[in-house]
Chains A and B, each alone.
Chain A
Amino acid sequence: MNPTVLDPTGPSVDPETAAHPRPRAAGRQALGARQLVEALPAALRKLDPRELVGSPVMFVVEVGAVACTVLSIVHPSLFAVSITLWLWATVLFATLAESVAESRGKAQAAGLRASQAQTTARRIVAQQDTLEYTSGRADLPTTEVSSSSLQVGDVVVVEAGETIPGDGDVIEGIASVDESAITGESAPVIRESGGDRSAVTGGTVVLSDRIVVRITAPAGHTFVDRMIALVEGSERQKTPNEIALNVLLASLTIIFLLAVATLQPFAIYSGSRQSLIVLIALLVCLIPTTIGALLSAIGIAGMDRLVQRNVLAMSGRAVEAAGDVDVLLLDKTGTITLGNRQAAELIPVEGVDAAELADAAQLSSMADETPEGRSVLVLVKEQFGLRARESGDLVGAELVQFTARTRMSGLDLPDPVGFEGASGEGVRHIRKGAAAAVTAWVHSTGGHTGPDAARIVDAISSSGGTPLVVAERRGSAPARVLGVIHLKDVVKQGLRERFAELRAMGIRTVMVTGDNAVTARAIAAEAGVDDVLAEATPEDKLALIRREQAGGRLVAMAGDGTNDAPALAQADVGVAMNTGTTAAKEAGNMVDLDSNPTKLIEIVQIGKQLLITRGALTTFSIANDVAKYFAILPAMFVLVFPQLSVLNVMHLSSPQSAILSAVIFNALIIIALIPLSLRGVRYRPAAASVMLRYNLLVYGLGGLIAPFLGIKLIDLIVSLFPGIG
């Protein structure tokens, strides 16, 4: 069994690889023609005005398109029909954008549904109190029922090879479970009763052993059901910021509606009555159709980007909140540091050779199966070239296991084995352990630890490390200290840079740890976090979140244990690890299927990217209007006011081609921007003012210039058609 899977802190994922989407997400980014065609039926269904009314901008376009259809049937002309068709195209492109965005989740949902195939569950038939107090429940009589009929509180037995019939907690036994159906991770995970790894998910498969599971979610409301609903977007509700933006877009639409509606009396007064088709064309060009068409696609794609990274957001609100986060609470272990402390240095006391210390350190760690012990072996091998000893080298050696009472490990070697040239000094005792324990042992043999050892121990402690003292006793002579092993928390690579990025974005990182303040601060300084919560209890964590929130800040955190649940619920963004308990998963508003707490950083970035994409396309959309005025206004009134032709800066060939070109540009820009809205705009962590300058330049200035070029280009083509040019 792969020991890292058993690691209670979850698989430690290198942040570098975590920064990139999983390979299976690749290839879904590109927008192909096939994807558009496949999304077409759904897009056509979305033309239903009852559905479209949720997007006020596109609803107005559809009403305009209907009116134009009627008008061009009554008075058909090439111009009228062209305008009408392009208005319909505008609406269709909008619904197409949304259904393309949705289709990306559909494939994943289909895969999840497969895991939901009805299974048979073996429900234990027994009185409730029997189930509460009895052990050996796995042997109680069972009855076979359909998984869809399971109720909350039912207890089922699942054996190797069987599918777990529903979400629940393991109340007895331990098993390895294949969760690849939901996580995409093929390595099995361990699920056992009690503790923080007791939650199992319906649809996953038990690979070995047998467990008893108490069902915690009714059929149809399981984790996978929610996942399906989420990735399909069927439960999608507009998020607060999306609603706010919709309000702004609606009010802009009303302003332009007013401007265009009142234009007719002015035009009549000026002796230049306008046709309704031209007025509708002007209106559609002015109202913010670009962002109006892409707004919901942007939202769906934002959620989808999270799903691609194996994060399930239980609400869109949480995704937006992620962009606003001011404080990130990060657990030290597993998030900032690799799971375990590692030997970083061997410091001999005065008069002892480093090689001698290395030898003793290696020997003392033979009986130490902990990661710390193994790291000592790695260190001596790398630094001193001492290869691991075979068991044959240690014939007669007696391993001294670590016990809570002695708090030391080591081994006793009979003379002369493992020691060059038998000295006849008798049995060699080597001990390694906490400073206090080893000191006590040395004193008990009548020896002295000496000032040097104490100095080294203090130095290591105050630097935040953990000192392990190595001592040796030969025969019955007093024991003496050889040196100290410096155990250190190893900070994951690349985190310092990421925390610096977060700082640039205005996000403060707080490391949460149970370590004492000295140790915590040392690691914090090394990792580059802004603040530390040392000797933290779950209550401290909760209090810290409340304190930050009282100051108006938004807090994000990741957690997995049941005792994390209150803090997860309190945090504005609470990311529960999939390996965690049911309580944790229910308390948080996101679940990370990879159980990688470092992913919080990515979640924040996705949240920001979502908002930036909306803002950028809104700016682009509004900036576009300037050019459209220059195209359409002279075209409308050049007959009665020839002097207005100086405003025709694009030198469009005729009034009709000018108006038609503006409408066509307005429609095509939607299609052109679908990939951007699905992908999100380019995002680099930077200070707000830097980001604003960049985005204003690209989408503001770009939005001002692009339509001048686009409309001119379209006009060159459109004017080739007789009857328009």
Chain B
Amino acid sequence: MSTPWIAVAQILVLVVALAAVHVPLGGYMARVFTSTRHLRVERAGYRALRVDPDADQRWSMYLMSVLGFSLVSVLLLYGLERLQSHLPLSIGAPAMDPAGAWNTAVSFVTNTNWQWYSGETAAGHLLQMAGFAVQNFLSAAVGIAVVVALIRGLARSGADGRVGNFWSDLVRTVVRILLPLSVVVAVVLIAMGVIQNLSAHTEITTLAGGSQHVLGGPVASQEAIKEIGTNGGGFFNANSAHPFENPTPLSDLLEIFLLLAIPFSLPRTFGIMVGDRRQGWAIAGVMGALWAGAVGLLTWAELAGPGVVPAAAGAAMEGKETRFGTAASALFAASTTSTSTGAVNSMHDSLTAAGGGVAIFNMQLGEISPGGVGSGLYGMLVLVIVAVFIAGLMVGRTPEYLGKKIGRQEITLVALYVLTTPAIVLTGTAVAIATHAGQAGILNPGTHGLSEVLYAFTSAGNNNGSAFAGLTVSTPFYDTLLGLAMLLGRFVPMALVLALAGRFATQKTVPPSAGTLPTHRPLFAGLLIAVALVVVGLTYIPVLALGPIAEALS
């Protein structure tokens, strides 16, 4: 089978699998968040946390819980990183330096999983298991909790800003969704050849008589949640390009499927919870169209796109695993940048200029296609409101979405949300490109160098976490600045989303009429795609023109 057909076949398999799984998974998640029953293990958790899981929190209290919980998470992880050499199972990994520890702590708590370090040498098994893997679960759960709060805000009427209970949403997400899925997936991955042990390096003698360190570690357990929770932080530096993380083309396809599974199921959860499944379909459709567009473009760029290398070799093979091939690498690259996962199975720095540009643009969309777990849906819902506002005016009514009016306060929150990430990305990139400390990290000069810095800040600001490579980021300058970008890029939008959830929850729901803008039809979906592309495009086109576009056209 030729490469283009492989590309098409695996995309089809993926689409069918996602279509099949989103119904039960989406429905199950809706039940999880609407059920009034607590499991015994959850009750134990609530008692330990000393929280009342039935207290309906106002949005501000919900936000305080999110921020407080995340602050504690950052501090614990920071402590673990700084002290790991004194703790068991460190397998010789040294303590991280303060700037690096800050960066990594923020990175895992914000679901970014940007890694300035190599997992092999910088993180012992305890840090991987008790630090990173735990945050993989918790940061994913926080994202889902926030979008559930927003969905409740839209679904409720006259609820005085009450959007649910953070602790209950957090615990249920972990206990009922992420843990069971991860256990099953980890076992499947082990069966496929992913390693799972607590050994340090194994010294072996190769056939040629040389000596080699073979790495060990609890990889499968972390690999599962890395994809399911759209975290993306690899156990090893090579991430999913490493054979112990991602041994076969089949495991590769499974991992791509996993990182898309929850983000594509949440729209259904949303549709069920707001009582109109068509709304969920429309959003899943828009997410799917944007994702498919990115996959198509990136695959085209790698297989047949402009550039000397693809022309000479038939495809751009540099930096890609021959196990997977170009098509699977392009699919992985498009999917990981669409979902804020950031795991990679190839080196994005080696993508063609156009392919790298697509990857950057994917993240710049704000991680909405389908985006990270939770964050993707709330990011999309914010864009929905922008689209509703403009389109709503054009049908002659005060814009409304799901019966909620988009007035001054709502649009202010939405506008600030839309403003936040570009401000972080552009300012960060500009500061880095204008300073010596920033320019020092650049590997390739010229247009590609600009792309490297832009990629780093785009990835951090949008909490993606994938790296373009090339850029040396293990410096205090980049550790600090990128850490700040991740922190602001995660919690400022979350605060705005929760405030929005509170506003919606307070409003009474207006019943729809023939004069209401229908938000489930293809026309609106098309408008939503246009709004996403135009708003993001207009923001980033100048810098893209000097980076990937100029490089691709040369």
Contacts and interface: CB of A to CB of B under 8 A. Distances in A.
Interface of A: 240-241, 243-245, 247-248, 250-251, 254-256, 258-263, 265-270, 286, 320, 323-324, 326, 503-508, 551-553, 607-609, 611-612, 614-616, 618-619, 622-623, 625-626, 629, 633, 637, 641, 643-644, 646-647, 683, 687-689, 691-693, 695-696, 699-700
Contact of A266 (B411, B518, B542): B542
Contacts of A687: 514-515
B418 A255 contact: yes
B406 A244 contact: yes
A324 B405 CA distance: 10
B514 A608 contact: no
Given A551-B511, A644-B545, A251 B397 contact: no
A506 B396 contact: no
Contact of A644 (B509, B543, B550): B550
B39 interface: no
A507 B515 contact: yes
A615 B391 contact: yes
Given A240-B407, A244-B408, A693-B523, A266 B433 contact: yes
14 contacts: A240-B407, A241-B398, A244-B389, A254-B419, A255-B419, A256-B538, A261-B430, A269-B434, A270-B550, A611-B398, A637-B550, A644-B553, A687-B515, A696-B527
A262 B543 contact: yes
Contacts of B398: 240-241, 320, 323-324, 611
A397 B521 CA distance: 74
A552 B545 contact: no
Nearest to A688: B395
A248 B399 CA distance: 13
Interface of B: 157, 386, 389-398, 403, 406-408, 410-412, 415-416, 418-419, 422-423, 426-427, 429-431, 433-434, 439, 446-447, 449-450, 508-511, 513-518, 521, 523-524, 527, 530, 534, 537-543, 545-547, 549-550, 553-554
Contact of A240 (B408, B510, B530, B542): B408
A266 B406 contact: no
Contacts, number: 208
B534 A626 contact: yes
B394 A255 contact: no
Query: 9 closest A-B pairs (Cβ-Cβ)?
Result: A506-B515, A615-B393, A608-B396, A506-B513, A251-B415, A506-B514, A615-B394, A643-B553, A552-B510
A552 B509 contact: yes
A412 to B, nearest CB: 59
B543 A615 contact: no
Contacts of B539: 255-256, 258-259
Given A262-B543, A267-B546, A269-B433, A625 B396 contact: no
A320 B396 CA distance: 9
Contacts of A692: 391, 394-395, 517, 523-524, 527
A133 B94 CA distance: 100
Contacts of B537: 626
A286 B392 CA distance: 23
Contacts of B410: 244
A688 B439 CA distance: 52
A508 B447 CA distance: 60
Contacts of A629: 538, 541-542
B140 to A, nearest CB: 29
Contacts of B547: 266
Given A324-B397, A612-B396, A629-B541, A251 B416 contact: yes
Nearest to B527: A696
Given A248-B415, A263-B543, A320-B398, 12 more contacts: A240-B408, A251-B419, A255-B419, A255-B538, A259-B540, A265-B434, A270-B450, A505-B515, A507-B515, A623-B534, A641-B447, A692-B395
Contacts of B538: 255-256, 259, 286, 622, 625-626, 629
B82 to A, nearest CB: 34
A643 B521 CA distance: 40
Contacts of A326: 510, 513, 515
A612 B393 CA distance: 5
B158 to A, nearest CB: 9
B550 A506 contact: no
Contact of B411 (A248, A508, A615, A626): A248
Contacts of A265: 430-431, 433-434
Contact of A696 (B394, B396, B429, B534): B394
A251 B429 contact: no
In terms of DSSP, what is the predominant structure of the interface of chain B?
A: helix
A553 to B, nearest CB: 7
A262 B515 contact: no
Nearest to B553: A643
A260 B554 contact: no
A372 B172 CA distance: 74
B395 A255 contact: no
B333 to A, nearest CB: 24
Nearest to B158: A552
A266 B543 contact: yes
Contact of B546 (A247, A266, A615, A623): A266
B396 A683 contact: yes
Contacts of B431: 265
Given A259-B422, A551-B511, A641-B546, A270 B390 contact: no
Contacts of B508: 552
Contact of B450 (A266, A323, A619, A646): A266
Contacts of B447: 270, 641
B396 A248 contact: no
A244 B394 contact: no
Contacts of A618: 390, 393
Contacts of B418: 251, 255
Contacts of A258: 422-423, 426-427, 539
A280 to B, nearest CB: 14
B338 to A, nearest CB: 22
Contacts of B395: 612, 615, 688, 691-692, 695
A552 B403 contact: yes
Nearest to B434: A265
A611 B389 contact: no
A629 B534 CA distance: 12
Contacts of A641: 447, 546, 550, 553-554
Nearest to A549: B508
A688 B527 CA distance: 14
B450 A269 contact: yes
Given A247-B415, A262-B430, A619 B543 contact: no
A612 B416 CA distance: 24
Nearest to B446: A270
Nearest to A249: B415
Contacts of A269: 433-434, 439, 449-450, 546
Given A266-B430, A641-B550, A691 B542 contact: no
A508 B427 CA distance: 51
Contacts of A612: 393-396
B411 A244 contact: yes
Contact of A506 (B392, B516, B540): B516
Nearest to A552: B510
Contact of B396 (A244, A262, A266, A611): A611
Contact of B392 (A255, A505, A615, A647): A615
Nearest to B449: A269
A265 B429 CA distance: 9
A689 B389 contact: no
Nearest to B521: A689
Contacts of A614: 393
Given A255-B418, A269-B434, A607 B396 contact: yes
Contacts of A243: 408
B39 to A, nearest CB: 37
A689 B434 contact: no
A62 B509 CA distance: 42
A279 to B, nearest CB: 10
B318 to A, nearest CB: 22
